[in-house]
A and B are shown apart, each in its own frame.
Chain A
Amino acid sequence: GQNIDQPTEMTATEGAIVQINCTYQTSGFNGLFWYQQHAGEAPTFLSYNVLDGLEEKGRFSSFLSRSKGYSYLLLKELQMKDSASYLCAVRYSGGYQKVTFGTGTKLQVIP
């Protein structure tokens, strides 16, 4: 299988930093995406990692360790609008570069 594991829910305080972890099976790995999804809305693309290391985009950063099958999304200077679900999606080698989504982490930012 290609199980992708993320925590179901997290709570963090406005202005703080939060790290959302994602683990996945490494066989056939060919890239990892992070998406943000507000309740009842469409997911929107946040980041893509295919090589080891940290990718930074403003308040959001994403890290990947291919050998460990591990990624995290780091959100800094949390704002109330960051309350959303964060979806980890892994692309595996295959006919069409199959992408498998995790169940998502619901983040609640509190004042």
Chain B
Amino acid sequence: DGGITQSPKYLFRKEGQNVTLSCEQNLNHDAMYWYRQDPGQGLRLIYYSQIVNDFQKGDIAEGYSVSREKKESFPLTVTSAQKNPTAFYLCASGRDTSTEAFFGQGTRLTVV
């Protein structure tokens, strides 16, 4: 079945540690995105990629990094520089950046 998969669903890390969130899609989509969702706020764009080997900063990229070495994969690293990393992270993909997005199930990251 085609879809977009994020793992793990829940993740706990100690403050000061980097952590990488996985996102894989087999929909043959060119565009991929990472969003962060906090209570009472809309989804905020962290990074996006329109095509393999290319990515751009979104609205809140500070403290995060990504790579897009393969079309199917768009991992997000939350670095120790991110001041408030505890959040629900959503990965999404789309045929291109002008069409609707298909979301993964999300990873809830808790930093203690």
Contact = CB atoms under 8 A, between A and B. Distances in A.
Given A41-B105, A42-B90, A42-B106, A103 B100 contact: no
A91 B98 contact: yes
A104 B90 CA distance: 15
Nearest to B90: A42
Contacts, number: 46
Contacts of B85: none
Interface string A93-111: 0011111111110000000
Interface of A: 4, 31, 33, 40-45, 48, 87, 89, 91, 95-104
Interface string B94-110: 00011011111110100
Contacts of A91: 98
Given A40-B106, A45-B102, 15 more contacts: A40-B88, A40-B108, A42-B90, A42-B103, A42-B104, A42-B106, A45-B100, A45-B101, A95-B56, A96-B48, A96-B97, A99-B101, A101-B35, A101-B43, A104-B42
A69 B40 CA distance: 22
